[in-house]
Amino acid sequence: MSELSSFHDVLFPLAVSFGATGGPERRNEIVSLTSGREKRNARQSQSRHYYDAGTGLRSLDDLHEVLAFFEARRGSLHAFRFRDPFDMKSCRPQDEPAPQDQVLGIGDGTTSRFALVKVYGDGEEAHRRFIARPVDGSLRVAINGEEKSPPGDYAFDVATGEIVFDAGSIPADGATVTAGYEFDVPVRFDTERLSVSLKAFKAGQIPSIPLVEVLL
């Protein structure tokens, strides 16, 4: 067994990730009944993201950087940060994160921990995606619209993915806790082998570099 951590807090080459393809996958079970109706069941509460970084390679330098990164991670052994080119902010892609972007919860006067989430949709049908790896320095937090400051007011607990308020800054009963941020997706290589041919690469044939999201 490796003595290294199962998660390496390093970022996959950014220039390559911005040319990657991929997105979320859902696992649902659908059974057709004799009446013609369907019975549907969600096997997972959270979607899982898959990517192919091969489409992001633009040069032999990019390829060399990815190969070195693959070796440093021991293939699929260790997870790492990946910047999703389609979904990497608490706001729209063209906007800058603001502390009021995402509602994390409502205070009760005693709760000091609030999970960092991104909400998709509205009302009861909205999906709350847990964000485990905000980009360092990008996290902004507010209570009832008033922005708070780390480390005096709060800190982010990497182990649990929660914002932890200090004793003097715990949200009052009925107070709305919000946050804005950029974030990375924890992923690993979804292969044990990278197959590359310089001749094929120069001819425009892109190797496949599959990545899959992991839970931390």
Question: Per-residue pLDDT for the chain (216 aa), expressed as one digit of tens each?
Answer: 444 579 999 999 999 999 999 999 998 888 888 888 888 888 878 899 999 999 898 888 888 899 999 999 999 999 999 999 999 999 999 999 999 999 999 999 999 999 999 999 998 889 999 999 999 999 999 999 999 999 899 999 999 999 999 999 999 999 999 999 999 999 999 999 988 777 766 655 678 899 999 998
User: CA 158, 159, 162 angle in degrees (round to 5)?
Assistant: 60
- Identify the helix (H) or strand (E) that includes residue 201: helix 198-202
Q: What local confidence, expressed as pLDDT, does residue 76 receive?
A: 96
Q: Could you tell me the residue ranges of all domains in the chain?
A: 1-88+184-216, 90-181
Structure-block tokens of residue 158: 């990497």
Angstrom distance (rounded) from CA 49 to CA 17: 14
> Which among 51, 89, 53, 79 is positioned nearest to 186, based on CA atoms?
79
Concatenating the DSSP letter of every residue in 22-55 gives EEEE--EEEEE-TTS-EEEEES-SS-EEEEEGGG
pTM recorded for the entire structure: 0.88
Cα-to-chain-centroid distance, residue 111: 25
Q: What local confidence, expressed as pLDDT, does residue 2 receive?
A: 46
User: CA 110, 116, 119 angle in degrees (round to 5)?
Assistant: 115
Q: What local confidence, expressed as pLDDT, does residue 198 receive?
A: 75
Q: Is the peptide bond before 151 cis (omega within 30 degrees of 0)?
A: yes
Angstrom distance (rounded) from CA 123 to CA 215: 26
Length of the chain: 216
Angstrom distance (rounded) from CA 94 to CA 214: 27
Q: Which residues have CB under 8 Å from 210's CB, separation 6+?
A: 50, 51, 52, 53, 189, 190, 191
By the 8 A CB rule, do 114 and 104 touch? yes
